[in-house]
Amino acid sequence: MIVVTTDFVPGHKVTESMGIVRGSTIRSKHIGKDFLAGLRTIVGGEIKEYTEMLVEARNESTKRMVAQAEKLGADAIVNVRFVTSQVMSGAAELLAYGTAVKMIRG
């Protein structure tokens, strides 16, 4: 599956748009890692616990989006975007979405 943030794939021509596909996940860290993250906000620097959480969330939401496109028989997903939002204190949703398409070379 080709996944791109552009509206085209070099060397390919879109032959059919199959609609929007999406994948999402809601993640939170356990209290121990939240405590460590809170300490990091005091001393400064990267909050690695949350960086790891968002990487995991991006990977999972992308995987779910690709699975939806594969069910439709798509060859690629174009115009991929990611959106995050807080759903409650300490928990965030990460949504990946794009347009599933069929393509041919040329």
Q: What pLDDT does 42 receive?
A: 67
Q: Which of 67, 94, 83 is nearest to 1 (CA)?
A: 67
- Distant-in-sequence, close-in-space partners of 4: CB < 8 Å, separation ≥ 6: 76, 77, 78, 79, 80
Report the pLDDT averaged over residues 10-17: 96
Strand partners, 34: none
Of 4, 2, 26, residue with least CA distance to 78: 4
Confidence at residue 90, expressed as pLDDT on a 0 to 100 scale: 74
- For residue 56, what pLDDT is reported? 92
pLDDT over threshold 90, residue 102: yes
CB 88 within 8 A of CB 19: no
Q: Where are the alpha helices (DSSP H) in the chain?
A: 31-43, 48-72
Whose tokens are 């356990």? That residue is: 30
- pLDDT at residue 101 above 60? yes
Structural fold of domain 2-105: Translation Initiation Factor IF3 (3.30.110)
Question: Over the stretch 29-87, which tens digit does the pLDDT of each residue have?
Answer: 665 555 665 665 666 678 787 888 889 999 999 999 999 999 999 999 999 999 999 88
pLDDT at 47: 78
